[in-house]
């Protein structure tokens, strides 16, 4: 898949049956991330957030992540015993790393029971949430929304373990890629036609850039699905890319909220369809930053038709996501180089894949560089403003930051630079585009 967002395939939402609805005012999906369920007091805090919805007579489906740090620890265990290259290994990886969500869904259900509610946990396979067989980054194929709605007839609240589903053919657990609980939540919201999907996290909304990089970042009250898709894809991990694609395709109302603040109508960030809904006129909406890519260069290949198709075809067969691509033909026109980037999690697989077709594509050298950062400026306002790229390049040049690669879309300009300048570049650009908090209107 080249410079394109992967959408979940064949996602089927169920037909919702009216009688389930008459006892409550809204059907709400609440998703709580790792920090929000990071320890027992925090799980109790989450239970209070659930109670607040139940007090409003809403029906609630909760989706939880693993406690913060747990998935990383589980991934680390896997890496200590396997290079995780084969499908078999990745299926075991999924079984292992999905276990963190089993713990938190059970604990939250227990806490809700202690508060007097009829609550139960649900693992992916119990719903079932069915996926394809792309272990470690599986796509959702269907969800039995009917089962979830029926469960709400017998229970006050159900707590779903995020991040996981079942691959039907082999009857094995599959996970949805890092950050995948966001996608579980949005997919479930689509399947049950929820009124809203609230994503609770450790920040109180989507900001102009990662608030951990600059305290001048400011909260966006609204952001379009397209912008959020580009921001997520370019590294703003506040929402997993697939969750935004899913929300956009299925018209799910999504809000990003803080678990640690009181929620009011003015809280958080709402994803909207239409730029018209955003009163504020802006050229740039946000700046994303990713330091998890690897640059791969194939040097001096004989220049004839079909070489690029062979390379990217082989990578696509392995489900490897390619982002930026640059091709240079030599001056004499006889050979060419190709440079592209892949997520570091796909790097080993990409390297093996390229090496396996070395005899066919006949490169002279294969080079790798993970000392890189990708900075992207994003905004639908770009469509009607010129000079966005120039401002970016000029700002970086003023700090003597060298640009290694450039790619653009209608609403995004991305550059690759040396990793050491990543955060500095974000701060400089945030300032240059007038995004700092003091410019708030
Ligand atoms: P959770 O565990 O709740 O899923 P994540 O760590 O996945 O939370 O995502 C929340 C984090 O996303 C924030 O702590 C923040 O550092 C980071 N982040 C990156 N870009 C942005 C942005 N533009 N706006 C808000 N948060 C962002
Ligand atoms: N626990 C998983 C992860 O850390 C899924 C998630 O938190 O969304 O990637
Ligand atoms: Mg997350």
Query: In the Cβ-directed half-sphere of 284, how many Cα atoms lie within 13 Å?
Result: 29
3-class state of residue 253 by DSSP:
coil
| CA–centroid distance, residue 205 to ligand 1 (Å) | 9
Give the burial string for 166-204 (b: 16+ CB within 10 Å, else e).
Answer: bbbeeebbbbbbbbbbbbbbbbbbbbbbbebbbbbbbbb
The residue contributing the CA closest to ligand 2 atom 5 is: 179
Pocket perturbation via mutation, ligand 1, pick of 62, 202, 229 by most ligand atoms within 8 A of CB = 202
Lookup result for tokens 């707590």: 159
| CA–centroid distance, residue 229 to ligand 1 (Å) | 14
| CA–centroid distance, residue 123 to ligand 3 (Å) | 19
For residue 221, which of 170, 268, 265 has the smallest C-alpha distance? 268
Pair 26, 156: CB distance under 8 Å: no
| Pocket of ligand 1 from Cβ distances under 6 Å | 33-36, 65, 179, 201-203, 206-207, 209-212, 236-238, 286
In tens digits, what is the pLDDT along the chain, a chain of 441 residues? Answer: 333 333 365 454 444 444 444 556 899 999 999 999 999 999 999 999 999 999 999 999 999 999 999 999 999 999 999 999 899 999 999 999 999 999 999 999 999 999 999 999 999 999 999 999 999 999 999 999 999 999 999 999 999 999 999 999 999 999 999 999 999 999 999 999 999 999 999 999 999 999 999 999 999 999 999 999 999 999 999 999 999 999 999 999 999 999 999 999 899 999 998 776 665 667 899 999 999 999 999 999 998 899 999 999 999 999 899 999 999 887 778 899 999 999 999 999 999 999 999 999 999 999 999 999 999 999 998 888 889 999 999 999 999 999 999 999 999 999 999 999 999 999 999 999 999 886 443
Ligand located closest to 288 CA: 1
DSSP 239: S
For residue 115, which of 60, 33, 45, 61 has the smallest C-alpha distance? 45
Pair 26, 119: CB distance under 8 Å: no
The residue contributing the CA closest to ligand 1 atom 11 is: 238
Give the C-alpha separation, 52 to 260, whole Å.
14
Q: Is residue 381 within 6 Å of ligand 2 at its C-beta?
A: no
DSSP output for 387-399: -HHHHHHHHHHHT
| CA–centroid distance, residue 337 to ligand 2 (Å) | 37
DSSP output for 310-369: HHHHHHHHTTPPB--EEEEE-TTSSEEEEEEEEEGGGHHHHHHHHHHTHHHH--SEEEEE
| CA–centroid distance, residue 262 to ligand 2 (Å) | 24
Those residues with Cβ within 8 angstroms of residue 422's Cβ, 6 or more apart along the chain or in another chain:
289, 291, 373, 375
Pair 382, 398: CB distance under 8 Å: no
Residues with CB under 5 A from ligand 3 (ion): 33, 179
Q: Where are the beta strands (DSSP E) in 70-195?
A: 119-122, 129-131, 140-143, 157-161, 164-167, 172-175
- For 293, list phi and psi in degrees, rounded to 5: -115, 160
| Paired tokens of 20 | 């389930």
């Amino acid at each position: 898949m080249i410079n394109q967002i992967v959408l979940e395939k064949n996602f089927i939402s169920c037909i919702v049956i009216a009688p389930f609805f008459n006892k409550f005012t809204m059907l709400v999906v609440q998703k709580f991330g790792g920090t929000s369920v990071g320890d027992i007091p925090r799980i109790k805090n989450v239970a209070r957030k659930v109670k607040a919805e139940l007090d409003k007579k809403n029906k609630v489906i909760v989706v939880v992540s693993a406690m913060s740090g747990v998935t990383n620890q589980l991934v680390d265990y896997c890496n200590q015993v396997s290079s995780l290259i084969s499908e078999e290994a990745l299926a075991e990886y999924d079984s292992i790393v999905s276990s963190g969500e089993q713990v938190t869904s059970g604990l939250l259900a227990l806490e809700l029971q202690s508060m007097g509610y009829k609550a139960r946990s649900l693992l992916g396979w119990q719903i079932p949430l069915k996926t394809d067989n792309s272990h470690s980054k599986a796509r959702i194929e269907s969800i039995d929304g009917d089962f979830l709605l029926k469960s709400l007839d017998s229970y006050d609240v159900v707590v779903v373990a995020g991040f996981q589903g079942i691959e039907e053919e082999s009857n094995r657990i599959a996970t949805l890629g890092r950050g995948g609980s966001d996608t579980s939540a949005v997919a479930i919201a689509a399947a049950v036609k929820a009124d809203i999907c609230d994503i609770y996290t450790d920040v109180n909304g989507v900001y102009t850039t990662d608030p951990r990089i600059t305290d001048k970042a400011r909260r966006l009250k609204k952001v379009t699905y397209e912008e959020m898709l580009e921001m997520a894809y370019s590294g703003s991990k506040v929402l997993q890319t697939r969750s935004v694609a899913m929300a956009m395709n299925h018209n799910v109302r999504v809000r990003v909220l803080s678990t640690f603040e009181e929620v009011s109508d003015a809280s958080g960030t709402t994803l909207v369809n239409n730029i018209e809904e955003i009163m504020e006129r802006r050229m740039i909406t946000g700046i994303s930053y990713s330091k998890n890519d690897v640059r791969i260069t194939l040097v001096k290949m004989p220049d004839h038709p079909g070489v690029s198709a062979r390379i990217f075809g082989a990578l696509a067969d392995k489900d490897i996501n390619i982002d930026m691509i640059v091709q240079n033909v030599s001056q004499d026109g006889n050979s060419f180089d190709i440079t592209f980037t892949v997520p570091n999690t796909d790097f080993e697989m990409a390297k093996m894949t390229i090496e396996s077709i070395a005899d066919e594509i006949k490169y002279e050298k294969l080079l790798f560089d993970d000392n890189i950062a990708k900075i992207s400026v994003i905004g639908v306002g770009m469509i009607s403003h010129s000079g966005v790229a120039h401002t970016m390049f000029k700002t970086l040049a003023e700090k003597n930051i060298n640009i290694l690669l450039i790619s653009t879309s209608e609403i995004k300009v991305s550059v690759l630079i040396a990793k050491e300048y990543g955060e500095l570049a974000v701060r400089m650009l945030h300032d240059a585009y007038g995004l700092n908090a003091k410019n708030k209107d």
